[in-house]
A and B are shown apart, each in its own frame.
Chain A
Amino acid sequence: MGSFKLGGISLKGMFSKPATKMYPTVVPEYFDRTAGHVENTDIKGCIMCGICSKRCPTSCITVDKDSGVWSINPFDCVSCGSCVRECPKDCLVMFNVYTAPATSKEPVVVKKPELTPEEKAAKAKADAEKAERIKAAKEAAAKKAAEKAQQDGE
């Protein structure tokens, strides 16, 4: 029993450095894993599948495949990291710096860049090949179904 149980700590505190940091003069160092904010760093590689938008618990991500626009509202985001984990192309990255304060809740919009003529030609070629493959597969399926129907009839 007794009093002044914190006497030693109090005296020590008087002659040691403060435990707190003088923010904002001294900027805190964040850890690598600190959940700060999410960015789409590879919009060219993004396939606009919309999985990030579906998994997001706060619905703060919107994906418009037609116009190639990916946007996130950082002020609705809770930094749970679901989108980063689920992205099939690893386009999304969680940065360890928090979103800067702002006067309005503006979303961060990222748009797919316009394709160069070469890229357009390559895309048209790939689309044509894909359409051909689908057509061939459909024809094969129809042929198979017809043969099966014929066999059943016999």
Chain B
Amino acid sequence: MAKSTVIPFGPQHPVLPEPVHLDLVLEDEKVVEAIPRLGFVHRGLEKLVEKKDYNQYVFITERICGICSFGHSYGYSQCVEHLMDIEIPPRAEYLRGIWHELSRIHSHLLWLGLAADSFGYENLFMQCWKIRERVLDIFEKTTGGRVILSACNVGGTLYDISDEELAGISNTLDIVRDEYSHITGAFLKDNSVRSRLVDVGYLSKQQALDLSIVGPFARASNVNNDVRCLGIGAYGELAEFEPIMSEGGDCFARVEVRAKEVFQSIDIVKELIDKIPAGEIFVKPKGSPAEGAEASMRLEQPRGECYYYARGNGTKFLDRFRIRTPTSINIAGMVTALKGCELADVPMIILTIDPCISCTER
């Protein structure tokens, strides 16, 4: 029997955009166990609800993570609106939906670029990020920020998008779709990419169900837990929504799901632009959350289901605010997928779950 060796992996590693440490127990080149360690970027953001009122706190939720920035402000605002029984104007719901789906496009394109970089496809990496710039320009034009948008607040949205700008977004997305369709072939049909990804880091459907995996990671193992299917907010107005699924369960299936979700998000944004109603975008919230009132909300972030919980105490400061992020659940799946893989495949498997450590540690 081979002798076990422990190889430390991370928190600084070329393939990791954010810090996570893994102790990889190896037998020869094979990983028999992976022990994760977190806590390198904990900032105590949930505790800040005691110092910042519920309107100011939305700008802190945006800073939980740079990539799912809009999603966090969206989920938090929905949760507090639920807590205070505020009904926001329909146009605001649509605008939130548009920005959220654009965030998903930019998040997936960023991730696809990182994935391309990790399997040594530098050109593809640059092409993905080049297309992503178009989405960031839409953000900057409509909200003033490229990554941190500061566009969502309790009671609606802070910016409106004119009809001309909406038509411009629709045209830009046509260009994005055209450019992106040229590079998806490299992800899904290239021999060298397939040989790097197929049958690597397999997670069965049963394992995904047992570990409650969420997001594209679960959908790649044919488990549908897409929160968008519940039809919360603008998603309820879509004519039809069928999540992208795959039965592969390996790294290639995860790349495939995310690559196809970009097209799906473009379709959703275009549909919302076509259907957006006219009217107000913001209702000023009155009063404070009632003492003992509790509310929770679920939102499909680019990485999966994110759960928000808030409790009021009768003042403008929340008593408790909690976020359960998708990566904190998916880490269990990552550790399972790592078992039995080759050492050289470890970076690829870690990357394909799309870990967001800043979200997880907050």
Question: A residues engaging B (CB < 8 A)?
Answer: 1-3, 5-6, 8-10, 19, 30-31, 33-35, 55-57, 78-82, 85, 94, 96
Contact = CB atoms under 8 A, between A and B. Distances in A.
Contacts of B159: 33
B252 to A, nearest CB: 13
A6 B150 contact: no
A81 to B, nearest CB: 6
Given A3-B191, A81-B150, A35 B185 contact: no
B192 interface: yes
B183 A3 contact: no
B182 A9 contact: yes
Given A6-B123, A19-B130, A79-B144, A1 B59 contact: no
Contacts of B185: 5
Nearest to A58: B59
Interface in B245-259: none
Interface range on chain B: under 10, 10 to 19, 20 to 34, or 35 or more?
A: 20 to 34
Interface of B: 52, 55-57, 59-60, 123-124, 127, 130, 133, 140-145, 148, 150, 158-159, 182-183, 185-186, 189-192, 194
Given A34-B140, A94-B144, A57 B56 contact: yes
A79 B145 CA distance: 9
Contacts of B130: 19
A96 B183 CA distance: 34
A19 B129 CA distance: 11
B189 A35 contact: no
B123 A55 contact: no
A80 B150 contact: yes
B150 A2 contact: no
Contacts of A31: 140-141, 144
A34 B186 CA distance: 35
A81 B194 contact: no
Given A8-B182, A57-B52, A57-B59, A78 B148 contact: yes
Nearest to A86: B55
A6 B186 contact: yes
Given A35-B150, A81-B158, A85-B158, A5 B186 contact: yes
A2 B191 contact: yes
Contact of B192 (A3, A9, A85): A3
7 contacts: A2-B191, A5-B190, A6-B183, A9-B183, A34-B140, A35-B144, A79-B150
Contacts of A34: 140, 144
Contacts of A82: 55-56, 59
A130 B123 CA distance: 72
Contact of A5 (B55, B56, B189): B189
A80 B159 CA distance: 12
Contacts of A5: 183, 185-186, 189-190
